[in-house]
Structure 1
Amino acid sequence: MIEFAPDRPRWRQVADVIRARITDGTYPPGTQIPSVIKLQEEFGIATATSQKVHRGLRAEGLIYTEPGMGSFVSKDLPKKPADGPGEA
């Protein structure tokens, strides 16, 4: 379990952990990520918080959900731009 910072929503902190696992290859493309229930168990968070983690990662394009099957790492992960707007 992680120690939560009091100044950030817990769902964002858990999403950061899952995002890091995706980007470091712990969860490669096509791999199933922990379910809402598994996130609750691992991080000690509420159902609504776990659901928000999944919604946030889906909104970023990092995961997709197959009804009745679970959530998986997207095969085509979004690319991060090397530089911000207006920079060379």
Structure 2
Amino acid sequence: MIEFAPDRPRWRQVADVMRERIADGTYPPGTRIPSVLQLQSEFGIAGATGQKVHRALREEGSIYTEPGLGSFVSKKRPEVPAEESEGA
């Protein structure tokens, strides 16, 4: 588990970790990322928090979801909005 900073929402911090893992190749394009349940287990977060992480990554285009199969890293890495990349 990571140590969460008290001044930022946990879902943003977990999303940042997932973005780093995508950027550094831990999760290459086309790779299935951890499910919400797996995020709960790894980071000690609530299910709703894990869902926010997935939603944020999906909305920015970092991942896509195949119903019944899971969520996967997109083939092309999107530009992350400046406010999120700066830790806002």
Q: Same fold (TM over 0.5)?
A: yes
TM-score, normalised via structure 1 length: 0.88
Structural RMSD (CA): 0.9
Displaced runs of 4 or more, over 6 A: none
Q: How many residues are aligned here?
A: 80
Secondary structure of 2:65's counterpart equals: strand
AA aligned to 1:21 is R
d(CA) in 2 for partners of 1:79, 1:45? 26
Give the alignment's TM-score, normalised by structure 2: 0.88
The letter of the residue matching 2:64 is: Y
Q: Name the SS for the 1:71 alignment partner.
A: strand
Q: Which runs of 5+ in 1 are unaligned?
A: 81-88
Q: Per residue, is there more helix in 1 or in 2?
A: 2
> How far apart are the structure 1 equivalents of 2:15 and 2:77?
16
Shift of 1:79: 4.4
Task: Please list, as runs of the form range in 1=range in 2, the aligned pairs for 1:29-68 lying within 5 A after superposition.
Answer: 29-68=29-68
- The 5 Å alignment of 1:17-32 reads 17-32=17-32
What amino acid is the match of 1:39? L
> By how many angstroms is 1:55 displaced?
0.1
> What are structure 2's unaligned runs of at least 5 residues?
81-88
| Percent identity over paired residues | 79
